[in-house]
Amino acid sequence: MLLTIAIPAFDEVQNIERAIREARATAQEVAPSDAEVLIVDDGSRDGTGAIVDRLAEQLADIRVVRHERNRGFTGAMSTCFRHARGDWIFLAPADGQISMSEVKRFLTEIPRADIVVGVREQRLEGAGRKTLSRAFHLIARLLFGLKVPEFSSVFLFRRSLLASMRFRSASRSAALLPEILFRASRRGGRFAVVSVVQHPRIAGRAKGGQLSVAVLTLGELVRVAILARLDENAARKVPLARRDSAR
């Protein structure tokens, strides 16, 4: 299978049906009979799960994985990666702020990249949330040595690259995406960047940008950066040790 459009969702009762129908229409357009839509209901309590179940019964090519309890950003994304069947995974938001049709622009980059990163042309955020986001990206770039301008929007991943990674990020932090980019870069992964248009949220409220999450994430960025470097350095030494023992 070529493509999985993966949508992690938590309490998006007002947005999820629109997101699923748009994702399915896009999947059928870009990869007829060779794509799926995967929904990870991350312990929703507002009726999101009932809508997801109804659509999965009505529509083909839709699969649902449910968390009994909310596992947070990293937990939901890890489930997306683990259950996706496509060679490529498009990680898409359930809130409708990024159009599912953007995946068409991402797919044009797959001959040249293993990870395609979406960068928003204009960020539609309040001053407080924007300040936290800028601080997060600055600190993450410094700690992980990343040159990607943004890594909190939408992504297209080559699944085979993710399969060998052991993630260190805590489930309720936002450290997973910079961790993935760091590990991929250390393994020779190729990156491409495409611009995406961010639309206003139609309904519901944003889940990120909370001060408590920001404090947790700061500590997590430091911890994960250290552990990820140790992991990747150790992985590099294994082939060298094997070559030495073979002499």
> Interior CA angle at 3 toward 111 and 96, to 5°?
110
Give me the tens of pLDDT residue by residue for the chain, a chain 247 residues long: 899 999 999 999 999 999 999 999 999 999 999 999 999 999 999 999 999 999 999 998 999 999 999 999 889 999 999 999 999 999 999 999 999 999 999 999 999 999 999 998 877 677 887 888 888 899 999 999 999 988 877 999 999 999 989 999 988 778 899 999 999 999 999 999 999 998 877 776 665 556 666 777 888 999 999 999 999 999 877 554 454 454 4
All structural domains of the chain with their residue ranges:
3-246
Ordered alpha helix ranges (H), the chain: 16-30, 48-58, 72-83, 103-107, 127-144, 159-163, 176-186, 211-246
Q: Identify the CATH homologous superfamily for domain 3-246.
A: Spore Coat Polysaccharide Biosynthesis Protein SpsA; Chain A (3.90.550.10)
